[in-house]
Amino acid sequence: MDNRFTDIVQIIKQSRYNTIKSVNADLINLYWKIGEYISKKIEKSEWGDSVVSELAKYIQQNESEIKGFSDKNIWRMKQFYETYKGCPELSTTLREISWSHNLAIFSRCKTAEERGFYLKLAKQENYSFRELDRQISSSNFERTMIGNTKLLTALRETNRDLTNTFKDSYVFEFLGLPESFNESELQRGLLKQMKNFILELGKEFLFIGEEYKVQVGNSDFFIDLLFFHRGLQCLVAFELKADKFKPDHLGQLNFYLEALDRDVKKFNENPSIGVLLCKDKDIEVIEYALSRSLSPTMISEYKTQLPDKKILQQKLHELFNNY
C-alpha cells in the first residue's frame, strides 16, 4: 500500500466532514428560525393556527424548487423551537446532530432531562438514526438513571466519574434467545452480536476477549467477557448468569477482579470493575450480599425483550421521590 498520500486523503475527509457539519448546523438554524417566527406570530395572535397549512400551500404553489416544507414539517419546526427555547445549554448540541435525530428525540421524549440525555448521547456516541431509535425504544435513559442511583459505595469511592456508564438492567432483545437458555448460549449470542452488544454497553467499551484466562497458583480461571473502558481507563469484567442472582456469584467476581488487578492491569490503569449480569435479581438479597463488600462491582439484570417504558418510568419516579 502506498502511504505517501494518506495525509492528503485525511485532509480531504476532514474537509468533507466539516462541510457536512456546517451544512447541518445551517439547516437546524433555519428550522429554528422558522419555528420561532411562526410561534411568536401565533402567540401574539397575529396569525392563527391555520397559517401553517396556508404557508405550506403557498410554498408548494409559488416556490416549487423549495422542498421539505409540508404543513407537517413546518409544525415540527414550531414544536422544535417551543420545546427547546428555554434550554440554552442544549443550543450547541442541537446543531451538532441531524434533523432526523432531533426529530426522534423531541417528538418521543417527555421531559427536558430525557431529551438532554439523548441529545448528548447521540453526539457523544455518533449514533446512526437506527441506533438512536433503538436506544429510545429500549428506555436507555430510565435504565441509566436507575443505574446511577444503584452505584455501590465501593464504586463511588473510586474517585472516577461513573455517571451514565453502567445500567441497572441491560436489554438483549437482538439475541433472539429461546425462553430457556444456558450461560454458554447467552455468551455465544453476545459474541455473535458484538456490535449490538457494544451499542447496548456504550461505545467507550473495547472488547478484549471471551473466556479470558487468569492464572492463580497452579489453577486457571476464565472470565466470561473482558472489556476495557476508555473513559474510565480500566478493565471491566462481565460475568454472565442464566439464573437469578446468588450471593456466591459475587465471591467469584471479586476473585477475578483481584486477579486482574494483580496480574493483568497495567501500572497506569485504574482498578478493575466487575459487572455481574443475571437473568433476575432480588433487591433484598443483593443488599445483604453487598453490605460488607468493598469490591467495585455492579449487579445488573438483563432482559431478552424490550422493557415496558411505563414501568421503568414509574420505578425511576419512585426512586427520585425517595432521595
List pLDDT tens digits, range 21-58: 778 889 999 999 999 999 998 887 777 778 888 888 88
Query: Does residue 81 sit in helix, strand or coil?
Result: helix
Number of other residues whose CB lies within 10 A of the CB of residue 255: 15
- Smallest CA-to-CA distance from 235 within 254, 251, 257 is with 257
Tell me how far apart the 2 most distant CA atoms of the chain are, in Å. 83
- pTM score > 0.85 for this model? no
Question: Could you give the CA distance from residue 92 to residue 154 in angstroms, rounded to a whole number?
Answer: 35
Sheet holding 297-303, edge to edge: 169-171, 297-303, 270-278, 234-240, 219-229, 205-216
Rounded-to-integer distance, Cα 137 and Cα 131, Å: 10
Residue 254 corresponds to which cell in the numbers above? Answer: 471479586
Read off the pLDDT of residues 180-235 as tens digits, 9 standing for 90 and up.
899 999 999 999 999 999 999 998 999 999 999 999 999 999 999 999 999 999 99
